[in-house]
Structure 1
Amino acid sequence: MTPAARPAARRAAGLLSVVLTGVLVAGCSSGDDAAGGFSGGGVSALSCPVPVGPMAFAVSGRSNSPEPGLPGAVQDATVSVLSRAVDEGYEPRITLINVDGRPTSAGNDTFRTDAGNAIAAEDDRNAFLDGFGQAVTELRAETPEVDVLSALDLAGRSAGGNRPGTVVLVDSGLSTVAPLDFRQRGLLDAPPEQTVEALRAENALPGLQGTTVILAGLGDVAEPQPALSPAQRQSLVALWTAVATAGGASCVAVVDEPRGGDAPSDAPPVSVVDVPPPPTITPGQATALPDDNSVGFRPDTAEFRDRNAARAVLAPFAQFLTESPTRRIALTGTSARAGTTEGQVDLSTRRAEAVKALLVELGAPADRITTRGVGSRFPGYVNDVGPDGRQLPGPASANRTVIVEPSE
């Protein structure tokens, strides 16, 4: 680096001093796994173009989620933005958002360089990114629980400006703060469009107008949070993609690169989200097939969301029947309390019949499977209508099942 370029490099590294003042825990770097070493500038792994503009990173250094860090695709996108910014003479603002129970801005800085040549400019960029990468790895939650929805909104506001910006979320996505609290039974399985409509009705969608949104780490958890099944992770990704789109994002990219490792040991507690186990068949024991991406149905239809996934779930149920001529299965469809009672019974009956048809397709004898639909009138019904008369997505999803009762 030339002597003339050194002051610019010091200014470029200024984010570290800004972000580490007061709000971050010093000396908590994750060592060799830290994100301080940014990689090259290719962004082929992303499905969205990343504009040269302000960037806001909502990152969790919290309990129940792996230690903070940026996946390679996110690092590449950041390098690309800063490199192109130099070519365009633009000075992008970079903001770091702390994802916890009450998200806040952990700091921000503007990347500037007055380097006289490309090599010196690259040195300035790398110095800036080293400081930012260290700030990311040392980020720690301050408030118990986690409010991912508010973090996205704050990031959207931080990425606003005269140019289109980019919002990056790096978190498991298992929010535990209302109005998107995944501890609420059934919310993880609810169709994304219904959850989005409920958030819109509460004016709770994040403000992401015109931004590119990058979602990373969704569904990746750390103990004591139980791991999600592939179908549950798929539901989570679909929901946050729908939320970002409804919030006005111009493009939403999902990074599939998994995040692993332990949660930070020095972060406040976050409640564990109950993760229902996959349905299994046991003689004499009723099992409810959940309204999820493995064996659930498309809204207001008797059409499986994923027929192949449903086949995989129901194969052991069909095998149960074929193993003995005395075995039987009773299927009872249930529904949310929406529309008329007759409509609820009709839909729940058709869903029970759809499960029977798939079992028969898998080799089960049709004459040993009975079906009926009871709508929302069944033991265990969870109130799914709010005081304002609107349907509650979580409880409504919990009420949409087909109950399997096997007998010998």
Structure 2
Amino acid sequence: MSRRLALALATAAVLVLGACSSGDDSSGGFASGGGGGAPLSCPVPVGPMAIAVGGRANEPEPGLPGAVQQAAITVVSGAADQKVQPKFTVVSVDGRPTVAGSDTYRTDAGNAIAAQDDQNAFLSGLGDAISQLRAQTPEADTLGALTLAGRSVQGSRPGTVVLVDSGLSTVAPLDFRTEGLLAAPVQDVVSSLRDANALPSLNGATVVLAGIGDVAEPQGPLDTSQRASLVALWRGIAEAGGASCVAVVDEPRSGDAPSDVPPVSTVALPPPPTITPGRSTALPDDGSVGFRPDTAEFRDENAARGVLGPFADFVKQGPTHRLALTGTTARAGSPASQVDLSTRRAEAVKGLLVSLGAAADRITTKGVGSQFPGYVNDVGPGGRQLPGPAATNRKVIVDPTA
């Protein structure tokens, strides 16, 4: 396996830079006796497996977390017992995802020791091939790679699709350079992809997500809220694509990105809101201070308290310190419903500020729906809502005066 898969990678002009790990490990980065790491929350079927991973810019060097190694070991070790020959496929995540190599695990070993040798040799080749993977095309089409991996495991037996990537795709229709997309509700993004016929076909596959939100310079790091939003989004995409079970590997990936690979645009990450007297501050509709879709309920009230603490402190600093809160929305529903929702969200922010000790009589609220300066068109062809711009328009604007 390792000879053929490595050859496929070489013919794709992949640069060979070494194995997954250093030392005398003969299994290509696979831990002896098991992959280590926390067990997956999903069962791993003994069937085809496709691993989408990128040796690309803005990502740590390619490799497999321990839980993913264990999943591959489970498939290989169960193949003889179930008399199957599972196919393994490696998909390269870059601007134009491709199948970098594939092979089928077979063994005719006559005893347990020989069978273990065959398993180790196969896994060694898989680990080596992944460590050698290098992007060939600029940018990162993570959605396209997931789609290609899903196609690679279709067959008579259930399969496993593994995505090892930061998840920060930079290719349409899922381009996180689009302002607001990272903060958009999962259901909005999924609906948009469904309308574009762009959801991956993962019919009945187990999907494993690893490294989501883990980046390398020059990409700026995601905070806890941003990473949680990104994980939820990819989970939602996999579930909407028909995955039977989705497991998220929390084992972090770290290290530098590979050198001499095509560039990938960085995704601008909004800084946390800060308060400055005389200057408007927008509280974005994200995981830290955002709301559940179509409600005035915070997604994470504790996170919102952390963001709003300095704003409450500002009001408490003097009797002339005041806040004016203006709620805004996307252009969805009637104008009256937009005003109602934006008003309730402004009131929710006020309520949290008051609970933090701010004087209620020094905070005013109003809702203006989608009628406000700076509104970004969030309605596309056919009246479909655009998730990124829509998320940008959902906010509470704070005007502090002293």
Give the TM-score of the pair, scaled to structure 2.
0.96
Secondary structure (helix, strand or coil) at the match of 1:160 reads coil
* 2:145 corresponds to 1:155: no
Name 1:238's counterpart in structure 2.
232
Equivalent position of 2:358 in the other structure: 364
Out of 156, 173, 179, the residue aligned to residue 185 of structure 1 is 179
Answer whether contact 1:331 1:403 (CA < 8 A) is retained.
Answer: yes
Q: Distance in 2 between matches of 1:105 and 1:256?
A: 26
Deviates more, 1:54-63 or 1:322-331: 322-331
Q: How far off is 1:17 after superposition?
A: 3.3
Encode CA deviations 1:345-380: one digit per residue, 9 max, x unaligned: 111011000000000011110011010111111111
- Residue 19 of structure 1 aligns with an amino acid whose one-letter code is L
Check if 1:38 corresponds to 2:12.
no
Taking the aligned partners of 1:344 and 1:207, their CA distance within structure 2 comes to 35
SS at match of 2:274: coil
* 1:72 to 2:66 alignment: yes
The 8 Å contact of residues 12 and 124 in structure 1, kept in 2 or not, is answered as: no
Q: Name the residue aligned to 1:17.
A: 7
Opposite residue 97 of structure 1, the aligned amino acid is V
**Deviation digits for residues 287-313 of structure 1 (CA, Å, limit 9, x no counterpart):** 111111111001111111111111111
Equivalent position SS for 1:384 = coil
Per the alignment, residue 3 of structure 1 pairs with: none
Structure 1 window deviating more from structure 2 (394-403 vs 318-327): it is 318-327
> In the superposition, relative to structure 1, how do residues 369 and 100 fare at CA in structure 2: closer, same or farther (>3 Å)?
same
Question: Does the residue aligned with 2:130 lie in a helix, a strand or coil?
Answer: helix
| Distance of aligned partners of 1:44 and 1:259 in 2 relative to their CA distance in 1, 3 Å threshold | closer
Distance 1:295 1:204 in 2: 30
Question: Once the two structures are superposed, what CA deviation does each residue of 1:201-245 show, in whole Å capped at 9, x if it has no partner?
Answer: 111100100100000000001111111111000000000000000
Alignment correspondent of 1:342: 336
1:165 matched residue in structure 2? 159
The residue type paired with residue 182 of structure 2 is L
Letter matched to residue 81 of structure 2 = D
Q: Determine helix, strand or coil for the equivalent of 1:168.
A: strand
TM-score (norm. length: structure 1): 0.95
- Of 119, 124, 134, which residue of structure 2 is paired with 1:140? 134
Aligned-partner Cα distance in 1 for 2:194–2:2:
40
Equivalent pair of 2:19/2:127 in contact (CA under 8 Å):
no
> Partner residue of 2:55?
61
Counterparts of residues 86-105 of structure 1 (less than 5 Å): 86-105=80-99
Partners of 2:12 and 2:59 in 1: CA distance: 23
Name the stretch that deviates more: 301-310 or 29-38. Answer: 29-38
User: Is the Cα–Cα contact under 8 Å of residues 62 and 264 in structure 1 kept in the other structure?
Assistant: yes
Other structure's SS at 2:389 match: helix
Match of residue 17 from structure 2: 27
State the alpha-carbon separation in 1 of the partners of residues 351 and 328 from structure 2. 17
Q: 1:209 to 1:394 in 2, by over 3 A?
A: same
Q: Which moved more, 1:206-215 or 1:18-27?
A: 18-27
Name the structure 1 match of 2:189. 195
Instruction: Report the counterpart of residue 7 of structure 1 in structure 2.
Output: none
Q: 2:240 & 2:139 partners in 1: Cα distance? A: 24
Deviates more, 1:36-45 or 1:291-300: 36-45
Is residue 298 of structure 2 the alignment partner of residue 308 of structure 1?
no
Asked if the contact 2:20–2:130 (Cα under 8 Å) also holds between the matched residues in 1, the reply is no
- Secondary structure at the counterpart of residue 32 of structure 1: coil
Distance in 2 (alpha carbons) for counterparts of 1:387 and 1:111: 48
| Match 1:207 to one of 201, 209, 222 | 201
* Contact 1:19–1:108 (Cα < 8 Å) also in 2: no
2-structure distance, mates of 1:260, 1:27: 18
* Structure 1 counterpart of 2:263: 269
The correspondence for 1:299, drawn from 293, 296, 306, is 293
- For 2:109, the equivalent position in structure 1 comes to 115
**In 1, Cα distance between the equivalents of 2:38 and 2:226?**
27
CA distance in 2, matches of 1:81, 1:138: 22
C-alpha distance in 2 between matches for 1:159 and 1:365: 59
Percent identity between matched residues is 68
Determine helix, strand or coil for the equivalent of 1:403: strand
Is the 8 Å Cα contact of residues 331 and 379 (structure 2) preserved in structure 1?
yes
What runs of 5+ residues in structure 1 fail to find an aligned partner? 1-10
Measure the CA separation in 2 of the matches of 1:12 and 1:356: 61
**Structure 2 unmatched runs, 5+:** none
What amino acid maps onto 2:130 in structure 1?
V
User: Map of 1:250-289 to 2, 5 A cutoff?
Assistant: 250-289=244-283
More divergent stretch after superposition (335-344 vs 239-248): 335-344
Give the CA deviation at 1:139. Answer: 0.4
Aligned-CA RMSD value: 1.5
SS in 1 for 2:5: helix
Deviation at 1:146, TM superposition (A): 0.7
